[in-house]
A = this chain, B = another copy of it.
Amino acid sequence: MKFCSECGNSVAQCVPTGDNRLRHVCVSCDTVHYQNPKMVVGTLPVWEDKILLCRRAIEPQYGKWTLPAGFMENEETTVQGALRETVEEAGARIEIQQLFTLCNLPHISQVYLIFRARLLSLDFAPGEESLEVRLFEEPEIPWDDLAFLTVEYSLRQFFDDRRKGQYGFHIADIPRRNR
């Protein structure tokens, strides 16, 4: 951020009165421009013993497999956002079952929320941001070609819980990726 979005003048970094961290503050109109983490909402859609994954048609991680998920939009709920992303990326009709994982990614200031969902029909199809959408049984999951650690974490928790016969709710802090 270099300019004030309210008046167009320059911003400087300083700690506003009563605050305790650096903010972008307009040198002209004094507006403080707060920056906060973004939420990514998505689903883990299940059909019988299979999971729906999408192959990404966009960067980052072009060509890698992911759960349908994306940035939550203003004026929607977390569930509405997760349903919307599942339609946009996979053309899939689902029923949300529970909030399944919450992943903190503090190094990129994001929080992922993934809902476990029941896929309601097989007439899904890739949206503009997907190259391909298909169902995977557990042994077929492309572990080495998953787009994000949040996706890997959610899938591993899902298969663990399925073996136990009970689905929980899981929170994790995901470190910076080193590969």
A1-36 vs B, Cβ < 8 Å mask (1 yes, 0 no): 111111111110000001001000000000001111
Size of the A side of the interface (Cβ < 8 Å), in residues, is 41
A59 within 8 A of B: no
Residue pair B4, A75 in contact (C-beta under 8 Å): no
Residue pair A74, B2 in contact (C-beta under 8 Å): no
Residue pair A3, B6 in contact (C-beta under 8 Å): yes
Interface SS majority for chain A: loop
Separation in Å of the A10 CB from the closest CB of chain B?
8
Contact A36 B38, CB 8 Å, known A3-B6, A5-B4, A8-B2: yes
Query: Could you tell me which residues of chain A, from 141 to 176, have a CB within 8 Å of some CB in chain B?
Result: 169, 171, 173
Contacts of A39 in B (CB 8 A): 36-37, 39, 111
